[in-house]
Structure 1
Amino acid sequence: MSVEERRLLRKLDRRILPITCLLYLFAYLDRSNLGNARLQGLAKDVLGGDPTGKKFDWVNSIFFLSYIICMVPATLLAKLLPPRLWLGSAAIGWGICSTLMSTATNQAGLMAARIGLGVFEAAFGPGIPLYFTLFYTKHELGLRLAYWFGFAAVAGAFGGLIAFGIQHVHGTIENWRLLFIIEGIPAVLLGLIALAFLPDRPETTKFFTEEERKLALARANCDTSGDIGYHINKSHIADAFKDWRIYLGGVIYFGANAALASISAFLPTIIKTFGYTNALAQLLTVPPYAVTAVVITISSWLSDRLLTRGLFIVISSAVGGTGYLVLLTVAHNDHVRYFATFLIVSGTYTTIGLVIAWYAHNLGSETKRATGTPLYMAIGQCGSVLGTHLFPTTEGPRYILLFLLLAALLFLGSVCASALTSHYRYENARRNRVYGKRLPNTRVDTSELADRVSTITFLEIIQLQGSTKH
């Protein structure tokens, strides 16, 4: 990497990563703070006590229903608009919805705010991997997405600390209402910052000098040349819906998100079953998330260096499944059971972060990424709907069948990742054998066929070699 490229990469990191990571921190706080609010009296004040836990489950899961429905159209629409405008407006929208949750007086009010939260976050979550591919190469993307998605784990730890602090506040309003206000308003402020400071596409942003712009565009197209710009290739939309590999990725994402949603909403409740008070259960959610932030960063860095995602997903998904098996088989040792939560959280979060990075550069055009990314994510978020219904109060404190189901889903994800990485390795070897290896510093035109293009043919290689001699 040249000195100029290193300088550009540092400039991008300084501007893009702080804003997008903080946005995701508060996005995740705002979608997952119901678990903390539940222990602060939300169910008693708004849901009539909710003795079965089913009302809480529906308030939790309604977010994912609107999120799933809006993901594909929102991400395709994002391709037609300046990124800073789209991402900043989304943050302002979900911040307002999260803050309004504090005003709810009944279940309907909570659910209306959660529906709005899902609509606006659907414009953000799948859009970030697409946005990152505008600036980062496949050798850099995994670590940057790990920093970004790792803030979901930071949010888990940070949310536990905030909830622990609010637990000791004796104000004029209920603690759970104060929690929604404190975690909702910062998203609005960050949205305004994104509108002002996030770079737009490399070819249009004022963030670059002309020399930096040329270098950024060359980096963005160093491997493929596709349908860049503010337009959509309709054939690539159909291509994404017909690609079986996207659906297999959705299966992996489904299991991981079922575990993630259940952990996000119920980790304080699970830890409380170990015999701790409400306040201490809130505090003990912090260490598993803190360790997870380190694990996902190291795993993603290694996957960038080794240029492999699938094997790491196989391992991380199996680690998460093993954590649930420990909870199933160890009944009376609370220290071991608490250690199992570390396995579950770190394995689940790492799986999701690596899957996002895996597909970001395995979909061969911007339109296919804008369709395929929210498509497998939407399938995966169906797992989130399932996960929010898996821990009714009547099943506690052991939750045997529920832990068994989540373990099975994570191990299924490990098997699917093994099959998918085997397919990619076989297909790459076949293309190299039939068409020859792509020459360094040459591009494959994916504007028509996306990732169905077979790579550069022998005739094109001969022509390229001839042109470099003259």
Structure 2
Amino acid sequence: MLVYLLGYLDRTNLGNARLMGLTTDILGGDASGQLYAWVNSAFYFAYIFFQFPGTILGKKFPQNWWLGLAATGWGFCCAIQATAFNFGGIFVCRFGVGVFESMFSPNMSLYFTFFYTRHEIGKRIGTWFACASVAGAFGGLIAFGVQHIHATTGIANWRLLFLIEGLPAVLAGLACIYILPDRPETTKYLTEEERALAIVRMNRGGSKETAGTINTSHLWMAARDWKIYLYGVIYFGVNVALSALGAFLPTIISDLGYTAARAQLFTVPPYVVGAAVLIITNFIGDHLQTRGIPMILSSLAGGTGYLLLILVQENIRVRYFATFLITASTYTTIGISISWFPYNMGSESKRAAGIPIFQAIGQCGSILGSNLYPNADAPKYIKGFGVSCAFNYLVSFIALGLTLYFRYENARRDREYGKIDRNAAVDTSKEADHVSTII
């Protein structure tokens, strides 16, 4: 959780730096906002291209080393953004942050499945992913503080911000190598009795694979699974909103009439509420063993938030309330998706391939979201709000379709094969989820 919080700080601090003068200092003022949009997109270019090999290769190495190296790398790249003096420099640094973060987040979705069963995964991933929202809150507070120490340092505010938020990730990454456990069957943290229990848990509803191996037939199986591409469309839609939150929420709130410093502070409450809603929703989802219905409701709430921003132009309180709906919806939907989708892939290798496929499609939405809010559209941002609204409603529609399909398919398999113990060990080494139970 600590590492992910630091990672999200480093991923989203560009929006805070923008209000501190980054565009004026090294982007020539960027009157159109296009250079800033390209810098923000650099992270997602790298994330898209490198997360598939980053997840597949991650399965070949000890998890503590792989995840620790990723955190150390992105922290370093974030910190050296403080030395950038032109568009090319900041673009390359942001690209580097994306390369190393692509080695971490998709792998974490797989890593959790090594330790937690499908009945436990929602609340664990929900609590872990809530750190993304908490990072948004901390980012606003840190940015507010940094803006008030400029006079005593002589260093530009935004450069200090990158150093303060980048260097801790380097230290946390090095700590991961020594503290974080590897897979249950190889980690030194467990006794033999604990290890045997952990392996039994790994085989509930499936079968574990040997550490450091990849089932290549399951990689191709993931590439041919139409459901993974629908997951990608959902992830695409919600990432349109997510990228805009980190990069443009401070600016949007500033356009409501607040000063830059106060706008940093006013970004905090929506993120705090978003984290709380995400955790509560995932706990309920685990208890009821449902993911689709909470996703439908959260996406509808997000679409309504964007609709309010479009239709209500004068009432600042209503518009600010809409940011709460959007933030809670965005983080909740993503938190549900990364606990729902992996467990509908019936083997480790299929997850290792399927997770980066749907997340790569989703990060294309981040690039779109990064380019939906040009300065010329301020303060109404009709295009950005309208596109994001449409994608939220699309996500709810697809989630409804997947929920109905999964329930129909489970009922069909129950009729054909008989009801089975969902915690029983199932041999998924050949057919993966083609013969195992779907959540």
The question of a shared fold, defined as TM-score above 0.5 by the shorter chain, is answered with yes
> 2:394 aligned with 1:412, yes or no?
yes
C-alpha distance in 2 between matches for 1:399 and 1:420: 32
Q: For structure 1, which runs of at least 5 residues remain unmatched after alignment?
A: 1-20, 456-470
Shift of 1:442: 2.5
Residue of structure 2 in register with 1:262 after alignment: 244
Residue of structure 1 in register with 2:197 after alignment: 215
Structure 1 vs Structure 2 CA RMSD: 0.9
Residue of structure 2 in register with 1:14 after alignment: none
SS in 1 for 2:199: helix
1:191 to 167, 173, 183: 173
1:367 to 349, 358, 361: 349
> 2:5 aligned with 1:40, yes or no?
no
2:70 to 63, 85, 90: 90
Counterpart amino acid of 1:96? Answer: F
Shift of 1:148: 1.1
The answer to whether the Cα contact below 8 Å between 1:252 and 1:413 also exists between their aligned partners in 2 is yes
> 2:146 aligned with 1:166, yes or no?
yes
Q: How does 1:341-360 map to 2 (within 5 A)?
A: 341-360=323-342
SS in 2 for 1:204: coil
CA shift digits 1:57-77 (9 cap, x unpaired)? 000001100110011111000
SS in 2 for 1:289: helix
The answer to whether the Cα contact below 8 Å between 1:226 and 1:364 also exists between their aligned partners in 2 is no
Residue of structure 1 in register with 2:118 after alignment: 138
CA shift digits 1:95-144 (9 cap, x unpaired)? 11000100000000001111111111000010001001000011111111
Shift of 1:230: 1.1
CA shift digits 1:297-346 (9 cap, x unpaired)? 00000000111101111111111111000001111100010000000000
The answer to whether the Cα contact below 8 Å between 1:226 and 1:450 also exists between their aligned partners in 2 is no
> 2:391 aligned with 1:425, yes or no?
no
Counterpart amino acid of 1:65? Answer: F
Per the normalisation by structure 1, the TM-score is 0.92
The answer to whether the Cα contact below 8 Å between 2:346 and 2:436 also exists between their aligned partners in 1 is no
C-alpha distance in 2 between matches for 1:283 and 1:454: 48
Shift of 1:244: 0.6
Shift of 1:401: 2.0
C-alpha distance in 1 between matches for 2:68 and 2:423: 35
> 2:296 aligned with 1:296, yes or no?
no
Shift of 1:443: 1.7
C-alpha distance in 1 between matches for 2:398 and 2:422: 32
Counterpart amino acid of 1:148? Answer: W
* Residue identity (%): 56
Counterpart amino acid of 2:401? Answer: A
State the aligned residue count: 435
Residue of structure 2 in register with 1:23 after alignment: 3
CA shift digits 1:362-398 (9 cap, x unpaired)? 1100000001011101100000000111111011110
The answer to whether the Cα contact below 8 Å between 1:59 and 1:110 also exists between their aligned partners in 2 is yes
> 2:298 aligned with 1:316, yes or no?
yes
C-alpha distance in 2 between matches for 1:44 and 1:154: 28
Shift of 1:441: 5.0
C-alpha distance in 1 between matches for 2:387 and 2:2: 33
Cα distance change on mapping 1:226 and 1:251 into 2, 3 Å? same
1:386 to 365, 368, 380: 368
Residue of structure 2 in register with 1:11 after alignment: none
The answer to whether the Cα contact below 8 Å between 2:295 and 2:333 also exists between their aligned partners in 1 is yes
SS in 2 for 1:112: helix
Residue of structure 2 in register with 1:445 after alignment: 427
C-alpha distance in 1 between matches for 2:250 and 2:341: 32
Cα distance change on mapping 1:329 and 1:137 into 2, 3 Å? same
Counterpart amino acid of 2:163? Answer: I
Q: For structure 2, which runs of at least 5 residues remain unmatched after alignment?
A: none
The answer to whether the Cα contact below 8 Å between 1:166 and 1:179 also exists between their aligned partners in 2 is yes
Cα distance change on mapping 1:362 and 1:378 into 2, 3 Å? same
CA shift digits 1:255-284 (9 cap, x unpaired)? 100000011100011111111100010100
Cα distance change on mapping 1:44 and 1:239 into 2, 3 Å? same
Counterpart amino acid of 1:87? Answer: L
Query: Which has more radius of gyration?
Result: 1
C-alpha distance in 2 between matches for 1:339 and 1:95: 33
Counterpart amino acid of 1:78? Answer: G
Q: How does 1:277-288 map to 2 (within 5 A)?
A: 277-288=259-270
SS in 2 for 1:138: coil
Residue of structure 1 in register with 2:59 after alignment: 79
Per the normalisation by structure 2, the TM-score is 0.98
The answer to whether the Cα contact below 8 Å between 2:55 and 2:107 also exists between their aligned partners in 1 is yes
